[in-house]
Structure 1
Amino acid sequence: MTLPSDRHYTVELHASAERVPQIQRILAAHLRYWSLELHTEPVCRGVAELLTNVHRHIGPDAPCVVELRWSGRHLTASVADEGPRLPKLSSAAGGGLSRVAALSDSWGTCGTPDGKVIWFTRRVEATRKVPLTAPTPLRSVPDAKGQPAVPPVLPVEPLVPVPEVAAAGPAAAASPVVTCA
């Protein structure tokens, strides 16, 4: 199976409380399209936490950019906003960055000339799609005339390939680490 070299999705939005569920549905659709259904819930929850933080700390309707990038080994989700202050992991458990940390393999923040980026990664291997084949008999059982029984051959429909998603923007490195300019 060939792993994708890079799949990428970016959406610009205003971080209003009403937009969070809509963005979660859009991201979930992309993850399903990439055959990453097992990661839909944790990734969508992590992005929802980051968007809620933008809404809470930068302001209602603050502009931001949500990005998903799958290198074939790592899935990275990031939220960029115009706020200059980098968030810190608080000792209070249960929400914010502590929830993002619990849902991911790694996470981080970095300042940019226009604000900051908060990202998290999950290790993701591609799911293999194995074509279905007709079962082969374990042993030959004679029929009523004493001849070996031959099982009927069932038709097998070929898998339909899923078209690749066009990458938006420049191709990223295979590293799960987000670099900030």
Structure 2
Amino acid sequence: MTHPGDRHYTVELHASAERVPQIRRILAAHLRYWDLELHIPPVCRGVAELLTNVHRHIGPDARCVVELRWTGRHLTASVADEGPRLPKLLSAAGGGLSTVAALSDSWGTCGTPEGKVIWFTRRVEAARKSRLTARTPLRSVPDTKGQPTVPPPVPAEPLVEPVPEAAAGAAPEAASVSVA
């Protein structure tokens, strides 16, 4: 079920080792745009592990689809590929699915007519704004000459100005991109 506040991003690519850093940057940009900066490292690491598994087990020319979906309460990342074999969690340490499991609140796999999807979810209750808050000025403190020193006035607006969407190259609310 889709809610009005849902955010969605999908990208299709070939699972080459060279694409992983590019996809990490793209996902980080979308998470930053959605005000989910705290989730950038674990989500990008989890997706990188899944893409590396596609590259390793299916091949560098394997086509896959990376998807991010944020419902306002949960952030889900998934990688769909054409490989028919479902992966298994082999050990608690060693990368791959064990890393994905450690970085997420839940994860899973499911077969599809085209192959499979591996997904993981993180709880995200609300976006965190990273704005600085204005503070009231300190009282005047006399300096060594007995003259009062008054701190400069604090602006009423936040100290960090938001970047206009057009200038920031704002990401669309829902997008689909193909990376060849």
The aligned counterpart of 1:147 is none
The aligned counterpart of 1:165 is 172
Q: Does 1:156 align with 2:156?
A: yes
Mark the CA change 1:74 to 1:162 in structure 2 (over 3 Å): closer, same or farther.
farther
The aligned counterpart of 2:59 is 59
Identical columns (%): 77
Secondary structure of 1:121's counterpart equals: strand
Q: Following TM superposition, by how much is the alpha carbon of 1:136 offset from its aligned partner in structure 2, in angstroms?
A: 7.7
Q: Following TM superposition, by how much is the alpha carbon of 1:154 offset from its aligned partner in structure 2, in angstroms?
A: 4.2
The aligned counterpart of 2:86 is 86
Mark the CA change 1:130 to 1:55 in structure 2 (over 3 Å): closer, same or farther.
closer
Secondary structure of 2:31's counterpart equals: helix
TM-score by length of 2: 0.75
The aligned counterpart of 2:124 is 124
Q: Following TM superposition, by how much is the alpha carbon of 1:129 offset from its aligned partner in structure 2, in angstroms?
A: 5.8
TM-score by length of 1: 0.75
CA distance in 2, matches of 1:40, 1:53: 20
Q: Following TM superposition, by how much is the alpha carbon of 1:132 offset from its aligned partner in structure 2, in angstroms?
A: 3.3
Q: Following TM superposition, by how much is the alpha carbon of 1:168 offset from its aligned partner in structure 2, in angstroms?
A: 3.6
Secondary structure of 1:23's counterpart equals: helix
- Letter paired with 1:127: R
Q: Any stretches of 5+ residues in structure 2 without a counterpart?
A: 140-150, 166-170
8 A contact 1:132–1:156 mirrored in 2: no
The aligned counterpart of 1:70 is 70
The aligned counterpart of 1:115 is 115
Q: Any stretches of 5+ residues in structure 1 without a counterpart?
A: 139-150, 170-181
CA distance in 1, matches of 2:157, 2:132: 9
8 A contact 1:4–1:72 mirrored in 2: no
Q: Name whichever structure is richer in strand by fraction.
A: 2
Residues 98-118 of structure 1: per-residue CA shift (max 9 Å, x gap)? 110001000000111111100
The aligned counterpart of 1:176 is none
Q: Following TM superposition, by how much is the alpha carbon of 1:161 offset from its aligned partner in structure 2, in angstroms?
A: 8.3
Mark the CA change 1:22 to 1:168 in structure 2 (over 3 Å): closer, same or farther.
closer
- Letter paired with 1:62: A
CA distance in 1, matches of 2:59, 2:132: 50
Mark the CA change 1:98 to 1:61 in structure 2 (over 3 Å): closer, same or farther.
same
Residues 30-56 of structure 1: per-residue CA shift (max 9 Å, x gap)? 111111111111111100100011011
8 A contact 1:12–1:65 mirrored in 2: yes
8 A contact 2:137–2:153 mirrored in 1: no
Secondary structure of 1:12's counterpart equals: strand
**Superposed counterparts of 1:97-108, under 5 Å:** 97-108=97-108
CA distance in 1, matches of 2:135, 2:92: 55
Secondary structure of 1:100's counterpart equals: helix
Q: Following TM superposition, by how much is the alpha carbon of 1:83 offset from its aligned partner in structure 2, in angstroms?
A: 0.7
